[in-house]
Amino acid sequence: MRVPHLVRLAAASTLVAMAAPAATQTTHSKDWPPMLGTTPAEISGSLTQGPQLERGRSARWLLAEHRKLDAALQALAPQHQERVDAYVVSVALDSDAVFAREAREAGKVLSRRFDADGRTLVLAGSFGAADADLPHGNLNSLNVALARVAELMDREQDVLVLYTTSHGAEVGLAYHDGDQGYGILSPARFGAILDELGIRNRVLILSACYAGIFVPRLADADTALLTAASSARTSFGCRAENDWTFFGDALINHALRKPQSLEAAGREAQDMISGWETAGRLKPSDPQMVIGSRVARWLEPLEARMPASTSTPTGRPAVESLKDGN
C-alpha cells in the first residue's frame, strides 16, 4: 500500500493575494502559499500539517456529501452514564474499492464486538458495486467525525475505536480519491487532533503501509494501537479487486470476530499474516501492537460485553490475491 513519489510533489506557483477584506472578516496577512511548498523544508512542514487538496468537485456532489455526513453525525446515539461505551469510526481513505469494502465490514465487526450499535460511523464512499450510500472518507470528514464523537462521549470513561484503511507513505496515511482528492495524515497532525479533542481512551487500528510511524506519537498508557506494518515496511493485499487487505482479513475478518481479548486477537492476526507472507515469499510487513498500561480499566468492561459466539468471515480471502499477483 505504498504511495510512490508522493513526497516529491509540490505546487509550482502561488495565488495572488486578494483585495483587502471588509472589517467584519478576519484579516489576510499573507499571500496564498503553495499547496506543499517549493523547498524540501517547506514540503516537509506542509506534510506534517496534514494537507488536503480537493479539485473539480461538483457542487451537487459536495452538497450531497454534506447531507450524508450531517445525517450520519446526527444519528449517533448519546453515551450511557452508568457504563463504558465505545464509539466506532471506520474510514476508507482511498477510492480503490478494496478499502471501502473493508471499512464497511470493519464497521459491522467492531460495532458488534464493542457493543456500539447506534454509536458507529462508517465513512466509506463507493465500494465498486453501487453509488456511494455512505459519507465519503477523507481527512475533513474524519476530523469532523472525531469532533462529533468527542462531543457525545464521556471522555473520562468512554472509548474511541478507530479503524482506518488506505494506502500509506513514509510520512503518513495517504488520502487519494480518483483524480480529485489528495492528502496526507501525518502522525503529528493525527496526534494533535486527538489531543485537541481530549480523546484519551482509544483503540486505534491503522491499516496501511508504514503505519508503524504512528507508534511513537500515538502510543501511550491509555491507547491500544495496532498497525498493519512497521515504520519501514509495506503491507499487502491492497489490489482494488480484493475484498480485504492482509491485515484487515486477519484482524477484522477473523481474529476480532472471536470472543477473545484484543491482545490475543492481535497476536493471532500477526501469526496469520506471517504465515501468508512466508507462503508468498513476501518481505514481512511486521505488524505492530502496543497496548498501554491503563487500557485494561476501560477495555475489560467492554470485552466483558462482547458476544460469546464467533461470527462468520465474509468475502474472498486476501491471501488468494497471491494467485493473481499481489
Question: pLDDT for 279-315, tens place per residue?
Answer: 999 999 999 999 999 999 999 999 999 999 999 999 9
Give the model confidence (pLDDT) of 134-171 as tens digits.
999 999 999 999 999 999 999 999 999 999 999 999 99
Cell (9 digits) for 202? 482509544
Q: Rounded mean pLDDT of 194-203?
A: 98
Is 200 in a helix, a strand, or coil?
coil
Q: Rounded mean pLDDT of 171-177?
A: 93
Q: Rounded mean pLDDT of 76-97?
A: 96
> Is-contact 224 202, C-beta < 8 A?
yes
The Cα 148–Cα 69 span in angstroms is 11
Give the residue from 118, 103, 210, 116 showing the smallest Cα distance to 163.
103
pTM of this structure: 0.90
**Residue 181: its H or E element:** strand 181-185
Fill in the amino acid letter for 90: S
Give the model confidence (pLDDT) of 3-32 as tens digits.
554 444 433 333 233 233 343 444 546 665
Cell (9 digits) for 109? 465487526
**Residue 155 confidence (pLDDT):** 96
Per-domain boundaries in the chain: 66-324
DSSP conformational letter for 115: T
The Cα 245–Cα 240 span in angstroms is 10
**Residue 11 confidence (pLDDT):** 35
DSSP string, 206-221: EESTTGGGGHHHH--T
| Fold exhibited by the domain 66-324 | Rossmann fold (3.40.50)
Is 110 in a helix, a strand, or coil?
helix
